[in-house]
Each structure stands twice: as C-alpha cells, then as structure tokens.
Copies of this chain bind each other. A is one copy, B any other.
C-alpha cells in the first residue's frame, strides 16, 4: 500500500517564519496615511497594533524566529498532515497526483489559528489586556477566541451578520473559549449604529465589521485590534503551512507542478505558496493558482489601486486589488471569501504574473466539496471547496499530461453544514458579478 499521509514530528516543525517581502520582484508599495497620503510608519499604527507585529509588518528580514511560547501552543496540532488524495484522484479518473495540506486539524478547524496564536502572544507580551476583531465565516473569530484564552487576554468579536445568523455553532465555539460575540453591524459602536440606521437589514460585510473592531480598539486604552488576513504579518505567520508542506513533499519524493489555494483576504493561499516562490524565481517550473468566488472577484475583476481596508475608511490605504471599500458582496455562503480587497502581498504577486487568479461559482464548489467528502472523508469548509474546485480543474485539464498538484485544505466544514443543506435542497444559486457593479463600486477609490 502506498503511504497516504506524510507526517512530521514536532521536532521537524519550522522554528522560523519565512517573510516573502524581500523576494517580491519590484518590491511592495508602502501603506499610506489616509490624511497625508504619505507612507505610514509604525508609530501611527501603534495605537491599534503591538510593536512586535508592526516590526513584522514592515520587516526586510527573510527569516524571523518563532518564539518558543508560540511553538508550544502550535504543537497542540502542528505539524499538520500532508495527505495524498488518492481516492479523489481515482474518482476523477486522473493520473494527476493530488496532495493537500490539512489545516483542519487546528482547534478552531482552520489555518486561522496559526496567526491567532502569534498575534495573541505579541499583544500579551506588550501588556495588552483585550483584543477586538471581526470575523466573516467565524473561523478567524474562533481561532482568536482560542488563542486569546491561551494567553489570558479578553476578546471581543464582531461577526458579520449573515454568518452570525447562519452559523450559530461558531458562536457556541467562541463562547466555549470565553470570547464575547456580537453581530455586525452592531449597536456597540458608533459606526455600527450609523450603518444600522441606514441599512437595518444589511447582511453586513467584513469591511463593516473591521470598522467596528477598529473603532473598539481605538476608543479603549486596554484594547488592540487583530486582523485575520490581508496584512503582511498574517501572511508571515501562515508561511508555516508552506514550509511544512515543502518538507513533506520532499519526504514524499515529489514536487508540485502547481499549488492551489482559495483567496479571500489571501493569507491561506500565500501561506502555502510563498515558501515555494523563490524556487520559481530561480527558474523552477511551478505555477500558483489563486481561486476566488465569482461573486466577489477582487483579483480577476477588481482594480489594482490604493484603497481602504474597511468601509468607515479608518485603515491605512493599502495597495491591492479591490472592488472598492464600500462594496458589499452578496450573501454567498463562503463567508470567509466575502472581502472587497486582497492582501497586498498576493496582489503584488498577481501583478508580477507570479500568481494566476481564477474565479469559480459556488455550486460547482459545493459539488467538488461533496465529492471530496465522499472520497477522502473530510467535509470541507465552503471556502476550502473553492481550493478543491481549483485542484480538480488542474487535475482534469489534460488527462494526457498529469500534473502533481498541491492544494491548501484551509479548514473543515463541520460548522458549515447548513450551507450544504441549502445546496442539497436547491436553495443555493450562482451569482454572476455584474460588470456595471464594478464601475459603481470602485468609483469612490481614494485619489492618490
């Protein structure tokens, strides 16, 4: 029998994160101060982030040590398995080899926990007592609830309304870890109250929830803010996925022709592919495919421009692919992919043609997710279904030229089964993003 799972011992877990920024051709555009439109230093951001994370956000070092306290918590579930999806391959009738990195083994069930633990640690180290954050699908909120509890911090989570209503078990999980949760827009912030007045029935969005969590942190001395994707330090923390996967592919005696991941804010995809980027820059024949939902297609239909990360225009201006900061995506069920922007790192790599973005519709994603569950056992989160769909496209593109595919299984779907119910009962539909909506949504981009 062939080996199915490629495991690493705890002693083989990477002890440094990989920072891709110094390796990005033509570099990164700096974040801008929204008032002065000048590059923004760490001082001004220190109101909402601890210095330990800001140093990482702007670091030019390629390797950054993972503190022992963080390693110890990561050992609860890491290293994560690399698995050969041989049963899926057989069902597809392909000779392509499909591997997936299984991040669903973390306490909250997704890759998000990798950065949550690091962020809680650096905040704790600098004396912060409480973190505020937003969550879309609930995966980041659960992850940060767990991590803050581990380091003895309080946690307040602003959860996008549509997910709050559809995923009650995510709340139970956050309750279990002792966090406080509220649906966003909420009456707990001035910005939330303002939105509720004008759009009382809104499904909410990550952009709105970020504004609320930022306001919370900005108005309380004991509180800082934590973001689960998009930012450079989050992608740094997620690099552990790709670093492990690289060791594991080597153990398997294989190397990927293509790496696939789903893209919401960009961190899980960047986490798995950035450690392979230098190989590509050195001439290795490897492709990186980022899969986004057709209903929120920032990479494939957005503009590459400076924009705010939130609706209330509180964040610095980030240079990224964006659908416009006041774009509210339709309430599709892949909640974690409902973000108007995209990580500046992923955006820069797309612009450099180092990442190929594609967009897919949700019905084909759920279909792929179900096939995966039936063959490989694990029910994937709706976000992860996008990565699976991408992997299946690559595996079946040309049956005479089978490739070795590695995709990031970002999280399990145990708390997303109501979405599957809707899929089975025919209540889900595809959403074609109207071209005119792009023009409308991006007309308020800030002038630089």
Residues of A within 8 A of B (CB): 1, 3-5, 7, 9-11, 68, 71-72, 75-77, 87, 105-109, 146, 149, 168-169, 172-173, 175-178, 370, 373-374, 376-379, 412, 414-415, 417-418, 420-421, 424
Closest B residue to A377 by beta carbon equals B107
- Asked if B172 and A4 make an inter-chain contact with CB atoms under 8 angstroms apart, the answer reads no
- Chosen A-B contacts, 11 in total, with CB atoms closer than 8 Å, are A1-B68, A3-B11, A7-B7, A106-B377, A109-B414, A168-B417, A169-B418, A173-B417, A176-B374, A176-B417, A412-B414
Are A72 and B109 in contact, with the CB atoms below 8 A?
no
If A105-B105, A414-B109 touch, does A1 touch B5 (CB 8 Å cutoff)?
no
Partner of A376, one of B11, B71, B76, B376: B76
Chain B hits for A146, CB < 8 A: 377
User: Is A176 within 8 A of B370, CB to CB?
Assistant: yes
Residue pair B373, A177 in contact (C-beta under 8 Å)? yes
Q: Give the distance in Å from the alpha carbon of A146 to the alpha carbon of B373 in the complex.
A: 9
Q: Bound state CA distance, A77 and B11, in angstroms?
A: 22
Establish whether residues B75 and A421, one from each chain, have CB atoms under 8 Å apart when the complex forms. no
For A173, the chain B residues whose CB sits under 8 A away are: 379, 417
- Is B10 in contact with A1, judged by CB distance below 8 angstroms? yes
How long is the Cα–Cα vector from A87 to B1 in the complex, in angstroms? Answer: 37
Provide the residues of chain B in CB contact with A374, threshold 8 Å: 149, 176-178
Question: How close is A45's CB to chain B, nearest CB, in angstroms?
Answer: 30
Q: Which residues of B contact A178 (CB under 8 A)?
A: 374
User: Which of A77, A169, A370, A373 gathers the greatest number of chain B CB atoms within 10 Å?
Assistant: A169
The distance in angstroms between the C-alpha atoms of A417 and B174, with both chains bound, is 11
Docked-complex contact A420 and B172, CB < 8 angstroms: yes
Pick from A1, A77, A109, A379 the residue with the most CB of B within 10 Å.
A379
Contacts A107-B377, A374-B149: A417 and B5 contacting too (C-beta < 8 A)? no
Is B414 touching A378 in the complex (CB atoms < 8 A)? no
- Out of B175, B370, B414, B418, name the residue touching A414 (CB < 8 Å): B414
Apart from A4-B10, A107-B373, A176-B374, what are 17 other A-B pairs with CB-CB below 8 Å?
A: A1-B68, A1-B71, A1-B75, A4-B76, A5-B10, A5-B75, A7-B7, A105-B105, A106-B377, A108-B377, A109-B414, A168-B421, A176-B373, A176-B379, A178-B374, A412-B414, A414-B415
In angstroms, Cα B71 to Cα A10, docked, is 26
CB of B379 within 8 A of CB of A4, answer: no
Contacts of A1 in B (CB 8 A): 10, 68, 71-72, 75
Residues of B within 8 A of A172 (CB): 417-418, 420-421, 424
Are A175 and B420 touching (Cβ within 8 A)? yes
Return chain B residues, CB-CB under 8 Å to A378: 107
Which residues in B have their C-beta under 8 angstroms from that of A7? 7, 9
Known contacts A3-B10, A10-B3, A10-B4: does B379 contact A417 (CB below 8 Å)?
A: no
A5 and chain B: residue at smallest CB distance: B10
Residues from chain B with Cβ under 8 Å of A169 in the complex? 169, 414, 417-418
| Residue among A4, A370, A412 with most chain B CB within 10 A | A4
Nearest-neighbour CB distance to chain B for A85, whole angstroms, equals 10
Min C-beta distance of A181 to chain B, whole Å: 12
CA distance A75 to B376 in the complex (A): 10
Closest B residue to A104 by beta carbon equals: B105
Q: Please, how many angstroms separate the alpha-carbon atoms of A128 and B146 in the complex?
A: 46
Q: How far is the CB of A369 from chain B (nearest CB, A)?
A: 9
Give chain B residues whose Cβ lies under 8 Å from the Cβ of A417: 168-169, 172-173, 176, 415
Complex: A217 Cα to B68 Cα, angstroms: 57
The complex places the Cα of A415 from the Cα of B415 at a distance, in Å, of: 7
**Bound: A424/B168 CA distance, A:** 14
Looking across the interface, which residue of chain B has its beta carbon closest to that of A146?
A: B377
Q: How distant is A17 from chain B, measured CB to nearest CB, in Å?
A: 17
* Cα–Cα distance between A379 and B176 once the two chains are bound (Å): 8
**Docked complex Cα distance between A365 and B290 (Å):** 44
Q: Which B residues touch A376, using CB under 8 A?
A: 76, 107
